[in-house]
Structure 1
Amino acid sequence: MILGLYFLNFRMLMKRLKCLIVFLCFFPYLIWAQEANHIQADTTKKLQENTYQNLLDSLTQTIKKYGLEKQIMQKSLQEAETQKNLSLWGFIGAGISVLIVVFLIIRNVRQKDLLIEQQQTIEEQNHELQAQTEELRQQQEEIAAQRDDIIQKNKVLAEKNKLIQESIQVASLIQKALLAKTTNLQDYFRGFAILSKPKDIVSGDFYWVGRVQHTTIVVLVDSMGHGVPAAFISLTINMLLKEIVLIRKQISPDIILEELNNNLRQIIHHNGENSHNISADIAICSIQKTIGDSFCIDFAGARRPMLYVLNNEIMRFRGNRVSVSSDTTWEEHFENETIELSSKTRIFIFSDGLTDQNNKEGKKFGENQLIQILQKGISESIQNQIQNVERALLEHQGGCPQRDDILMVAIEL
């Protein structure tokens, strides 16, 4: 077995020795072959580099030649374009020059025509101005004549207006003399207050006081309209009241209203002609002292209410819904309202000029606002109550013109 191992190692050693001999024999050849390959590669590389350099030089020369030719061509084109532009601008300049010359010629001709037209227009205007001047002179003469006529008429109107105003002033004095005096109220009642604001010099609103035995009649009349016509109506009704109450001794408010209504119709229609309707809103209080400190009050109103104080509250009698009127097509009927009040109680009657007065927004003063003001001053004197009403009315009115006669009568029993 050991011999076998020696034999195996010997064989392996011989194989390695053969390989070494072969390598030593071929090694010089391998070195020569490698050197030959290096030499051939260097030669090939140099040939390629020379070829590339020649191609590059040829291409560079071609590019330079093409660039030079392109520059020459561009320069030729630029020169041709410049020549073309010069020719075009020359043509345009010549055309503009011709147009300018033509324009100047046309303008000169037009200016001459305009001058001729202006001269003709000026001559026509001169003729028109002369005609207008003559017409204006004639108008001035007419205006002067009309002015003198107006001045003369104004003088006549001023004189007539003065006479009318004087007549109205006299009529106002007569009206005041014929109507009730405040002394009558002082004789019959504990206290009173009057708010009177006529719209014009004479008024269609008035109050009347009369006494028959132990009964005092207080009447407030609001005649239709205002001014002189209403004043004549008030004088007529004043005359009728004296006849009905003082002569006929009639003390019931409803009957007084009915007789006023009938008598007014007779006066207006006595000649049988159809006249304009005449009417009046009237409030009548018949006041009679009863046992103790009590007063019995009968009230009838023709479209006028009566306010009174009961248990420190302002109460109201509304009255009837019809007026005293000369219109015969209506059959009016009036009714009394009766209440018993204690001493120091207050009653108020007033015309619709008070409650219908408007402010700048068109809102009326109103009966409810009047009641609120009276209620607020119920503990004050009767004069202060009426002053409060007047101040509130002026504040509500706010500078608006007064639309109707205003009258209010306040009585303390």
Structure 2
Amino acid sequence: RALKMDEELGYKSGIANDLGNIGSLYISLKKYSEAEKYLLQAISISDSIGILKEKVQFENSISELYSQTGKVKEAFEHFKKAIEARDTLINEAKSREIMNYEFEKKEAAVKAEQDKKDALAAAESRKQEIIIWSVIGGLFLVALFAGFIFRSLRVTKKQKIIIEKQKHLVEEHQKEIIDSITYAHRIQRSILTSDSYIKHEINSIDAQHFILFKPKDIVSGDFYWFFKQDNCLYYITADCTGHGVPGGFMSMLGISFLNEIIIERHITDPGEILNKLREKIVKSLKTDEGYTKDGMDAILCKIDKSKQILQYAAANNSFYIIRNNEIIEQKAQKMPVGYMEDSAQFVTQTFRLQKGDNIYTFTDGLPDQFGGPKGKKFMYRRFEENLSAICNLPLKEQEETLEKTFQDWKGNLEQVDDVTVIGIRI
């Protein structure tokens, strides 16, 4: 009825909204064909009259429709269009804000610098969102293709002749899979915070650092992420469920959600950041069968240079601060960033820093590595002894020593898990 009235009045904005609402209703009723027709009409009208806010809604709705119907490419294209329309709205709002503040001469320089940082952060966030969704789609297709190939290898003796005939084809397909996963590795490395950005921001708070990052497979389930805002450095050291392609999926979700929580929503308390991250992970991984126990163990740190304090929240993984050759363990809460029955809220802890303090955050890959003369685990006690022995060395030498220690201990044995150690000296 509303659509008919708006059509009689020639009210195009109202017509577009009516069509979009009808399309969304049909999605909830799973009448996808009708939903697609109405949403495409709504998008066409929104483009013709330039109503960007409504266009974002319509593009997101039709992207959700295509996701539910398995049209991954179309879902991704419309998701990009929604992002572009949203960014246009944001950019228009930013332009108006800058014009309003041009008359405030005393704040002009500060405002211009802040706008530049916001634009860079937004651009980085958009870039990572696009890359993440591209990689997720690509890895999903690779996983399906890999499943098909490996199932084809489960054959009986009578099928050996067929296998020999298909051997060349299978080898070519395997090479394509490995090449695809290798490309996914390069993309994953690109969405990890760049070395140049980390070095610049850590130097800006008069600190030094190293990052020892050794994935078990081509794609890693460990990840790290850095962001600096208002003289505070945020960084996370995370170990996702599994490694390889499954862990890679989870790490990309984690980075995407951190961009949204910290950069876009401006949440700054470490405990609250992990709470929001857990909410989004649990919601994203929920299926019709219920909740999955996938997630991550993580340490989220916030170094406030002006107050000379470290605030943190830790899920399952503790970490160390070494001061005057004494190890001060910072205990973690015994729960993951993921679904767990009767889980509590993550709580922010505070530690007052002193010049010369060494902060070491890490995943369990190095302590859990088998090796040595008896093929046993490296263990946390031996890890602590090594950190105590190297804590006064330059940070680059600490990284090199830890890597050599790991390789010597592992020897010819297989690496059992992804390895990540981050050291920061105040």
- Indicate if the aligned counterparts of 1:307 and 1:347 stay in contact, CA closer than 8 A: yes
Deviation at 1:145, TM superposition (A): 8.8
Output the amino acid matched with 1:370.
F
Q: 1:213 to 1:147 in 2, by over 3 A?
A: same
In structure 2, the partner of 1:347 is 359
In structure 2, the partner of 1:235 is 252
Give me the whole-angstrom Cα distance separating, in 2, the residues matched to 1:379 and 1:367.
20
Of residues 164, 177, 190 in structure 2, which corresponds to 1:164? 177
Quote the RMSD (CA, aligned, Å). Answer: 2.1
Q: Does 1:221 align with 2:238?
A: yes
Give me the whole-angstrom Cα distance separating, in 2, the residues matched to 1:333 and 1:275.
18
Deviation at 1:390, TM superposition (A): 1.9
Q: 5 Å matches for 1:147-162?
A: 148-162=161-175
Q: 5 Å matches for 1:285-300?
A: 285-290=301-306, 295-300=308-313
In structure 2, the partner of 1:173 is 186
Q: 5 Å matches for 1:193-204?
A: 193-204=210-221
Deviation at 1:312, TM superposition (A): 3.0
Output the amino acid matched with 2:299.
A
Deviation at 1:331, TM superposition (A): 2.1
Q: Does 1:407 align with 2:420?
A: yes
Deviation at 1:380, TM superposition (A): 1.1
Deviations 1:217-240 (A, max 9, x none): 010110011100100000001100
- Indicate if the aligned counterparts of 1:258 and 1:332 stay in contact, CA closer than 8 A: no
Output the amino acid matched with 2:297.
D
Deviations 1:98-118 (A, max 9, x none): xxxxxxxxxxxxxxxxxxxxx
In structure 2, the partner of 1:69 is none
- Indicate if the aligned counterparts of 2:319 and 2:360 stay in contact, CA closer than 8 A: yes
Q: TM-score, normalised by structure 1?
A: 0.61
- Indicate if the aligned counterparts of 2:282 and 2:291 stay in contact, CA closer than 8 A: no
Give me the whole-angstrom Cα distance separating, in 1, the residues matched to 2:224 and 2:318.
15
Of residues 248, 261, 266 in structure 2, which corresponds to 1:244? 261
Give unpaired runs (5+ residues) of structure 2.
1-155
Give me the whole-angstrom Cα distance separating, in 2, the residues matched to 1:187 and 1:253.
22
In structure 1, the partner of 2:298 is 282
In structure 2, the partner of 1:205 is 222
SS at match of 1:193: strand
SS at match of 2:365: helix
Structure 1: 4+ residue segments shifted above 4 A: 143-148
Deviation at 1:394, TM superposition (A): 2.0
- Indicate if the aligned counterparts of 1:283 and 1:301 stay in contact, CA closer than 8 A: yes
SS at match of 1:174: helix
Q: 1:152 to 1:303 in 2, by over 3 A?
A: same
Of residues 327, 336, 341 in structure 1, which corresponds to 2:348? 336
Q: Does 1:303 align with 2:316?
A: yes
- Indicate if the aligned counterparts of 1:215 and 1:251 stay in contact, CA closer than 8 A: no
In structure 2, the partner of 1:379 is 392
Output the amino acid matched with 2:402.
V
Q: 1:150 to 1:319 in 2, by over 3 A?
A: same
Give me the whole-angstrom Cα distance separating, in 1, the residues matched to 2:197 and 2:334.
29
- Greater relative contact order (Cα < 8 A, sep 6+): 1
Q: Rg larger in 1 or in 2? A: 1
Q: 5 Å matches for 1:4-83?
A: none
Output the amino acid matched with 1:358.
F
Q: 1:383 to 1:153 in 2, by over 3 A?
A: same
In structure 1, the partner of 2:407 is 394
Query: Which 10-residue stretch deviates more, 180-189 or 240-249?
Result: 180-189
